[in-house]
Structure 1
């Protein structure tokens, strides 16, 4: 005889007690988590920290699919998916850009994580920044043409077409001579990839850590982000878009490692210091350049990339004047 079917137990489901914006507490209600976007609780990156104990930190978390103005401070012991990975990446980035040592208890976690994944130990340093800068001299002569793509590009899983490699060689030649350049390939031939990998070679080989500015139509920003994630995994890219409050949070926490490096509040006027810039690439729209020209023009950019550069043909346009 067949056994009777086992009674199905109801699936456990979390609910959140929600206070709705612009509505009084009389309208609070329980809402199923299935109605919430899962990316609202997924960590995008850590953008700052505060220490409140010898080995205890609070972290300012930027959430996926949420604007910077909705970043929140979280304790370091929160049980959030991939939270520890984001913390490790945050400290590794600080070490690479500043040369400051990673806190010992976090360095141990990073070492254990890398060992578990079969990766070699992380190269860290306790040496002074002056010595580190000497060690960071270019590893490849920028005048040397690539015959094959660099290993660090191959490691991303991507393969450049021969004409793309030729384009990158040409861009490197122009950059080393301080000459402006235009990529005039047909649409769909990978000008975005060429531009990104060109900048990536400058960083990876020690020619420049940036900052680099990429100006693009708002509709293409997501494509730039997607290609950068694929081809330039070691780039720290900040997407500078959003409303006034979000851009203010970005300036305060993503422009520099130094607190107060940006002068001003909602209408920031300039960078006080460009000593410890946090990002390699700032990706922004034409509209944001026009709105925040004062702060952006106060930064000494190592390279400027303009998507759909035919817009520059009108030298009387606001965008053209703000880029000068």
Structure 2
């Protein structure tokens, strides 16, 4: 049999889950009657890098808890086999495709998305030097699944993630949680950007540029900001409002030394797209996605947002959803935000809505709403949007417009 590692026996962990792969020929030199069924075990508190193949005998010998999950797994396999005998060919093919996607995603769980903390290890390196451990956020898994891993294990394949982590925490362009100067600092005179700026050029495709109308949109956003006017970006769908917005935040960062923090509130359905575009168009900004269950959000607050002094932030931009914003409004409203961005801002068309009332109380220097053409809405809805971005200015509707 192949050698295996029993974290349950060594560290007192439980068997957390079983995967759908089984080995019937381990080792191949044995006769069929000597073969044993093995299960791929995900150990509780350990990452998928430490999954091991185990038989029922080795699980029993190790005295692990959670062995009941093996029985549940076998029941699911039995039910699946019965279903296959009765199911249509198309249904089986669809199921097999889904299973292939699941297996591919399973491999992604072994990839480091980002490192969020480090500490000195109790172990030492082979040369006697002090070893280090990293707290890992795994690809496609929530922050609640973060695990501590040895430096040597991570350096084998993810040295670039270690470099990215230390670059982020040692950055000299990080804002403070509260900064009264954001509200009093005089903004510079607008200077038009005539051509694609270098800080927006993509690393993987330096020849790719903003379209003419996107560059015009970027200049319009910068002009409004320099005039201290919050605004509404209302291009038609598919014209790159996300890219224009991120380019605007990147321009504030690089050209005007406004390092944030920027709060970007978007629908859950577009969060992945926003995260991807930030990585492409604003790689120098540390943008963190704030969402997930209670445990995940606590991990983000503890490790991703602020340094131990409680004043300086580790981030330049925070992306979250409407739902999470409402849940954690007391925490998020304690920041001074250099810019608030709200995607699909038609949700603010009712000034009596909970989201509208919540965001109105946030400390924001500049507000940018992204929506479809607001002039197609009623004047009452347009008034609500304008009143949100310009709360100090009087906008009067007559009785018919109301």
- TM-score normalised per structure 1: 0.72
Residue 232 (structure 1) shift:
1.6
Kept in 1, the 8 Å contact 2:264–2:317? The answer is yes
- Residue equivalent to 1:191: 241
Residue 34 (structure 1) shift:
5.7
Measured against aligned partners, the alpha-carbon deviations of 1:1-59 in whole angstroms (never above 9, x if no partner) come to xxxxxxxx98xxx97434689x832545999x968701111000000111247653211
Q: Work out whether 1:72 is the aligned partner of 2:122.
A: no
- Residue equivalent to 2:298: 248
- Residue equivalent to 2:131: 56
Q: Aligned partners of 2:305 and 2:238: how far apart in 1? A: 32
Q: Work out whether 1:91 is the aligned partner of 2:154.
A: no
Greater shift, 154-163 or 303-312, is seen at 154-163
Kept in 2, the 8 Å contact 1:49–1:57? The answer is yes
- Residue equivalent to 1:282: 318
SS in 1 for 2:247: helix
Residue 75 (structure 1) shift:
1.3
Alignment size in residue pairs: 256
Residue 256 (structure 1) shift:
0.8
Kept in 2, the 8 Å contact 1:142–1:172? The answer is no
Structure 1 gap ranges (5+): 1-8, 100-140, 262-272
Kept in 2, the 8 Å contact 1:164–1:190? The answer is yes
| Equivalent residue runs for 1:161-180 within 5 Å | 161-180=211-230
- What is the RMSD computed on CA atoms of the aligned residues? 2.9
Larger Rg: 2
SS in 1 for 2:233: coil
Measured against aligned partners, the alpha-carbon deviations of 1:38-84 in whole angstroms (never above 9, x if no partner) come to 11110000001112476532111000010001100111111566422
Q: Work out whether 1:25 is the aligned partner of 2:67.
A: yes
| Equivalent residue runs for 1:289-304 within 5 Å | 289-304=325-340
- Residue equivalent to 1:323: 359
User: Moved runs in structure 1, 4+ residues, more than 6 A?
Assistant: none
Kept in 2, the 8 Å contact 1:20–1:28? The answer is no
Kept in 2, the 8 Å contact 1:200–1:232? The answer is yes
Residue 179 (structure 1) shift:
1.3
Change (3 A) 1:88 1:233: same
Q: Work out whether 1:236 is the aligned partner of 2:286.
A: yes
Alignment partner for residue 151 of structure 1, among 198, 213, 231? Answer: 198
- TM-score normalised per structure 2: 0.58
Greater shift, 47-56 or 81-90, is seen at 47-56
- Residue equivalent to 2:343: 307
